[in-house]
Amino acid sequence: MTLWQIRTVVDDEPGRLAALASSLADLSVNILSVQVHPVVAGAVDDFVADAPASLTAEELVAAVGAGGGRRAVVRPADVHGLADPPTRALQLAARLVRDPECLPLALSDLLDGSAVQWTPAADPSDELRLRDPRGGSLRIVRMDARLTPSETARAHALADLAALLVAAGDGGDARRSAPEAAEGSAAAVHWRRPTVADLGAIAEMHDRCSDSSRYRRYNSGMARPSGRQLARLINPRLGVALVGVAPDGKVVVLGNLMWCAATEPTPAELGLLVEDAWQARGLGSALARRLLAAAADAECAQVHAVVRPDNLPMLRLLAGLGLPTHRAWDEGMLTVTVAVMEKSAAEGRL
């Protein structure tokens, strides 16, 4: 079975949801969670559903249409889509308290992976503009569907919390890492989850990287990974991916937390790549902290990274996280295990 997120507009009248569920049930699709957002045109129904692996997105769209749904958007979901909205909102609030810099990322997660762009000044034509407590404005860009009023209200609530945290001096500059505070580069890029539309820009970033950086990241030759391998890296079913986008729109950072089989040392492997021209400005550390927050949300007690022993920047980065680590040496490579939950607990006590 495969998890899908299905979003569709339906008429707001009795029996519509049942007709939709029945049309999906005809294809053995099991609805696991439903959210209903009232909108002027009726209601937007948001489902997470479990479907037989053989079903395609097109077949699901057709079934939704047959059940009375309009403008259906179907996309792969991961298990985190199953968290009920209050739980998810509280997890995101906790993440903001741990790291107030992660507002754009938390907003993106709250709004199902929408792109969140930072701009110095608000553009009045934007559908939803939120004030970034550190200055400027955050713009939400959703490619496949408009935000519903409930989602807009949720986004405002999260941005209000970030503003309160910053105003209270709770976690602002004091918790920023030295490299980040010193360079401010982490603020110069904006962080978001990549989509397949980013694959070209991610490939170009790999092309701009040196052979040595690619080799250190993938430990397997110096060529750029194939398009198929890059697509795998950003598949939300297989892990959490993050990109850092420079003000000129180029992707300059790619980070991955890939879920691992039980035979691996920990439930998730960390992989980081910062384009050479952007290295040593604190971006790698900022990226690692964001991925570790995602690991904590997914209740991973530990993650690991496979590092060449001569990779001083990565070893210093891992050591600089201030987390308990363990190094194991095997066949010329170091596997560095990082304890995630201890850090979260420690931050919770601050």
Ligand X SMILES: CC(C)(COP(=O)(O)OP(=O)(O)OC[C@H]1O[C@@H](n2cnc3c(N)ncnc32)[C@H](O)[C@@H]1OP(=O)(O)O)[C@@H](O)C(=O)NCCC(=O)NCCS
Contact between 176 and ligand X per CB under 6 A: no
Are the C-beta atoms of residues 302 and 267 closer than 8 Å to each other?
A: yes
Q: How far is the CB of 248 from ligand X (least distance, A)?
A: 18
Q: How far is the CB of 310 from ligand X (least distance, A)?
A: 10
Contact between 18 and ligand X per CB under 6 A: no
Contact between 313 and ligand X per CB under 6 A: yes
The residue with its CB nearest to ligand X is 284
Stretch that binds ligand X, among 3-11, 98-106, 141-149, 209-217 (CB under 6 A): 209-217
Q: Is residue 251 within a helix (H) or strand (E), and if so which, with residue range?
A: strand 251-259
Binding test (CB under 6 A) with ligand X, winner from 161, 171, 284, 344: 284
Contact between 179 and ligand X per CB under 6 A: yes
Which of 293/307 has CB closer to ligand X? 307
Half-sphere CA count of 202, side-chain side, radius 13 A? 27
* Total of chain residues touching ligand X, rule CB under 6 A: 24
User: Helix H segments across the chain?
Assistant: 16-25, 57-66, 85-98, 103-110, 149-167, 178-183, 185-188, 199-208, 211-218, 227-233, 283-297, 312-320, 340-349
Contact between 213 and ligand X per CB under 6 A: yes
Q: Which of 213, 221, 219, 304 is nearest to 258 (CA)?
A: 304
Q: Rg of the Cα trace of the chain?
A: 21
**Binding letters toward ligand X, positions 214-233, x by CB under 6 A:** --xx----------------
Q: How far does the chain reach from its first CA to its final CA, in angstroms?
A: 42
State the residues that interact with ligand X by CB under 6 A.
179, 213, 216-217, 271-274, 279-285, 305, 307, 311-314, 316-317, 320
